[in-house]
């Protein structure tokens, strides 16, 4: 009887070990601190210029293009799921109803993500409509994925192709006027986002970015080890933007036309990296790199190979 019990106990331990190994095989190796790339090549919304934005195919295309970071936007559904989307609603400019029909002009902002369960959001087609702003974008039937699915897909692809581990630059799409309408309040937003990040074991490889200092403040207070990026499109200047934020982020990320040699110098003097958005012209990419920026966010990650 003792031998039988020992056999079953040993078998149980083996099964647990195998299950744990299977669950973690696509997670990057855990480290307390991982340095950012010397020059960070970020695919904006995956590869927005080439494939439907913020979708799994766009992220895999970016990986094929040799990016060091996958940039993406996060929203929260009615049932608390973290999903990828730039807009807080189904955007009729480049997205379609589940039936494949156009969204009527009167319903332009009707389908708010925070007011719908994810099971409903997933039924909308976000890749089959021609998008005039990005004529090279390949048309395909696509949906807004969960952040967890994107991470799983990217990590599996990295392993399959033998690629280097990339970073995940995740933007919290929030602003004060949208609390409770388009998204939860900052603390709840951050809690849900970090829960997915930790479930997938990618914390050392994550950057949380935002135009909304509130979410970055919450993140810095609760999880100071997670890298942060302050997105900037205003003319207030470096000092005022940092004063409003209340701490020094890992990255200062301005609109690319705001970049000057003096801004780069000041950013570096305060120990931050400077990564501008969104640069889609090769000559402009080359100019900015020569100026000394620490990376570039682009809709066309295929251009990085020419830098």
Domain ranges of the chain: 39-88+127-306
Report the pLDDT value the prediction gives residue 33, as an integer from 0 to 100.
78
- Of residues 105, 142, 107, 147, the one with CA closest to residue 124: 142
List all residues 6 or more positions away from 46 whose beta carbon is below 8 Å from its beta carbon.
53, 54, 55, 57, 58, 59, 60, 61, 62, 70, 71, 72
Largest CA distance in the chain: 78
Per CATH, which fold does 39-88+127-306 belong to? Answer: TIM Barrel (3.20.20)
Whole-angstrom distance, CA of residue 219 vs CA of residue 278: 24
Each residue of 257-292: b (16+ CB within 10 Å) or e? eebeeebbebbeeeebbbbbbbbbeeeebeebeeee
Contact (Cβ atoms closer than 8 angstroms) between residue 114 and residue 77: yes
User: What is the DSSP secondary structure assignment for residue 33, as one 8-state letter?
Assistant: -
Whole-angstrom distance, CA of residue 52 vs CA of residue 61: 10
Low-confidence stretches of the chain (pLDDT beneath 70): 1-25, 29-32
Report the pLDDT value the prediction gives residue 26, as an integer from 0 to 100.
73
Q: How do residues 134-182 score in pLDDT, each as one tens digit? A: 999 999 999 999 999 999 999 999 999 999 999 999 999 999 999 999 9
Query: H helices of the chain, where?
Result: 2-24, 56-64, 118-121, 147-161, 186-199, 213-222, 238-245, 261-269, 282-291
Whole-angstrom distance, CA of residue 197 vs CA of residue 240: 31
Report the pLDDT value the prediction gives residue 28, as an integer from 0 to 100.
81
């Amino acid at each position: 009887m003792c031998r039988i019990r020992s056999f079953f106990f040993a078998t149980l331990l083996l099964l647990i070990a195998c299950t744990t190994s299977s669950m973690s095989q696509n997670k990057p190796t855990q480290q307390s601190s991982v340095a950012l790339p010397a020059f960070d090549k970020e695919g904006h919304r995956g590869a927005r210029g080439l494939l439907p934005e913020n979708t799994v195919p766009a992220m895999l295309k970016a990986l094929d293009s040799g990016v060091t970071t996958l940039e993406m936007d996060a929203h929260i559904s009615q049932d608390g799921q973290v999903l990828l989307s730039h807009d807080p609603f189904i955007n009729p400019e480049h997205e379609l109803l589940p039936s494949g029909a156009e969204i009527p002009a009167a319903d332009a902002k009707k389908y708010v993500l925070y007011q719908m369960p994810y099971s409903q959001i997933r039924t909308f087609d976000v890749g089959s409509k021609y998008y005039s702003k990005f004529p090279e974008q390949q048309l395909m039937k696509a949906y807004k994925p969960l952040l967890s699915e994107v991470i799983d897909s990217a990590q599996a692809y990295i392993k399959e192709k033998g690629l280097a581990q990339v970073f995940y630059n995740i933007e919290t799409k929030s602003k004060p006027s949208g609390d409770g309408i388009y998204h939860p309040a900052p603390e709840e937003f951050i809690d849900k986002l970090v829960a997915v990040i930790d479930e997938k074991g990618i914390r050392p490889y994550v950057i949380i970015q935002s135009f909304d200092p509130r979410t970055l403040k919450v993140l810095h207070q609760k999880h100071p080890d997670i890298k942060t990026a302050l997105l900037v499109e205003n003319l207030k200047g470096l000092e005022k933007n940092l004063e409003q934020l209340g701490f020094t982020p890992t990255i200062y990320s301005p609109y690319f036309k705001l970049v000057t040699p003096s801004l780069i110098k000041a950013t570096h003097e305060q120990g931050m990296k400077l990564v501008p958005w969104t640069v889609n012209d090769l000559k402009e990419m080359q100019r900015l790199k020569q100026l000394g920026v620490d990376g570039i966010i682009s809709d066309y990650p295929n251009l990085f190979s020419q830098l």
